[in-house]
Amino acid sequence: MPKPDWISWEDIHQLLLSAHKKNIDKGIVMGTSQLSGPELEKRVGELGRCFVALADDILVGTTSVGFFKGRSWYDKNQLVAHSMLAGILPRYQGIGIVDELNAMRDAYIHEVGATIIQADTAEGNTIVRKNAKRNGYREVEYRAFKSGHYSVIFVKWLNGCPFSDRYIHRRYKLSERLTKIQYKPGRIERSRVLSLFCRAIRKVILIH
């Protein structure tokens, strides 16, 4: 259900912290697991929505969606639904709760009229990457975030995929190489010259 008022953003923050515990133990610290309640609310935004799953009135799962206008080759000028902040309490993981949350989220995305869903996860978060592939998402881009790992961006085109598999794969691989040439994990630039070079290529090839 959409987050009711009696569940606070602080409750969502605590849930995400617990959900991410295994990731953190594995050294995958995702920035979103560290956001405070007010930061989460801001991230979701006015048009966005947070959804929750309850078991006997206890908060056990959540996911959210926000919206923005796309600027990259795969989403340019489209209204993008940004799926984010998914987390299930550890003892409730692996029983399909996220699918039910995603179904609610997708109905809302349809209502708002977005044409593409975008999400990201840490390179090493194999559970999420596998789940996304199974649900028709395509990996399109690499990014380096300050939280210390590389991230994979994946999207699902809601009106059919406008690109060939080969084209998507080539762009994705190019993005991975450029990101890893430009940044060490943690978004630390390797050198000024390399950065200028990668930015120039990105501007010409990836965005336009």
Ligand X SMILES: CC(C)(COP(=O)(O)OP(=O)(O)OC[C@H]1O[C@@H](n2cnc3c(N)ncnc32)[C@H](O)[C@@H]1OP(=O)(O)O)[C@@H](O)C(=O)NCCC(=O)NCCS
Contact residues for ligand X, defined by CB under 6 A: 19-20, 22-23, 30, 86-88, 93-99, 121, 125, 127-128, 130-131
Output 84 or 198, the one with its CB closest to ligand X.
Answer: 84
Output 109 or 198, the one with its CB closest to ligand X.
Answer: 109
Q: How far is CA 195 from CA 60, 81, 178, in A?
A: 42, 29, 9
Q: Where are the alpha helices (DSSP H) in the chain?
A: 9-19, 21-25, 37-44, 97-112, 126-134, 165-182, 192-201
Q: How far apart are CA 159 and CA 167, in angstroms?
A: 18
Burial 85-123 (b: 16+ CB within 10 A, else e): bbbbbeebbeeebbeebbebbbebbeeeebebbbbbbbb
Output 98 or 178, the one with its CB closest to ligand X.
Answer: 98
Output 152 or 198, the one with its CB closest to ligand X.
Answer: 152
Structure tokens at 69: 């206008």
Q: Compute the least distance from the CB of residue 65 to ligand X, in Å.
A: 13
Q: Compute the least distance from the CB of residue 199 to ligand X, in Å.
A: 27
Q: Compute the least distance from the CB of residue 17 to ligand X, in Å.
A: 10
Output 22 or 199, the one with its CB closest to ligand X.
Answer: 22
Burial 145-158 (b: 16+ CB within 10 A, else e): bebbbbbbbbbbbb
Q: Compute the least distance from the CB of residue 86 to ligand X, in Å.
A: 4
Q: Compute the least distance from the CB of residue 121 to ligand X, in Å.
A: 4
Q: How far apart are CA 137 and CA 160, in angstroms?
A: 11
Output 10 or 99, the one with its CB closest to ligand X.
Answer: 99
Q: Compute the least distance from the CB of residue 87 to ligand X, in Å.
A: 4
